[in-house]
Amino acid sequence: MLRNFINQLLKVLIIMANFSIEDQYSNYVLVGLDEVGRGAWAGPIVVGAVIINRNFDCTKIHDSKTLSKPNLLKFSREILTRHICSIGVSDIEEINQSNINQATVSAMLRAIDGLPVKPNMALVDGNIKLDGDIKTLNVIKGDSISVSIAAASIIAKVYRDNYMAKLAIEFPDYLWAKNVGYGTQKHLEGIISYGVSLHHRVNYKPIQKILSQS
């Protein structure tokens, strides 16, 4: 009984993603951008880009981290079908050769370039600054505030999770199907036992520390 009450209270306290930011810039063609995989030890950075079609009901679009896997898959399909979407990727080679910030910016620009409609303003989750001539508004914790950014977070997460699950078939020792490349204990044990793979971010300090200790 108490647990149900607490859960209901938390739902009330959580700020749901809405159009409060989008409504302030209604004279722009807005795209929401969000990246997934920035803190992972392995795999690509994936960016979702979404221009919302407000003719559809968007009340269930929220931060991807708050959604169950079935809802993630369901909402991702709906977003890709109903709205204008694109995915941008920076692969492991690019991440290892440059740095995580530049790789993230590159993935965001690719996502924008992949849209069939050209936006003139980007709502960007976090504090990443974009190059180029598109007007940018950084929104801290934007995936929990802006529907456009929340939608981008959903399609990016589903895309990257699926990508890592496919990699896990070829590289089963790191349990990427479960940890999607992030630094879990099982992932750590896999690196210690089998070394790094060609999909690991060898310039990351956690990876370098593991290798030096091994």
Mean pLDDT by 10 residues, the chain (214 residues): 47 67 95 97 98 92 86 95 98 94 96 97 94 89 94 98 97 97 95 94 88 76
Measured CA to CA in angstroms, residue 195 lies from 171, 180, 187, 190 at distances of 12, 17, 11, 7
The residue extents of the domains of the chain are 15-157
CATH of domain 15-157: 3.30.420.10
CA–CA distances in Å: residue 183 to residues 175, 200, 210: 11, 11, 11
- Tokens describing residue 31: 């795209």
Cα distance between residue 141 and residue 128, in whole Å: 12
Q: Which pLDDT score, from 0 to 100, does residue 4 have? A: 53
Q: What is the pLDDT of residue 60?
A: 85
Element (H, E) at 121: strand 121-125
Q: Which pLDDT score, from 0 to 100, does residue 167 have?
A: 97
8 Å CB contact between 134 and 111: no
What's the confidence (pLDDT) of residue 158?
A: 98
Q: What is the pLDDT of residue 12?
A: 40
Which burial class, exposed, middle or buried, applies to 69 when counting CB atoms under 10 A from its CB (0-12, 13-18, 19+)? exposed
Percentages of the chain per state (helix, strand, coil), in multiples of 5? 50, 15, 35
pLDDT at 5: 42
User: How many alpha carbons lie under 13 Å from residue 185 in its C-beta half-sphere?
Assistant: 0
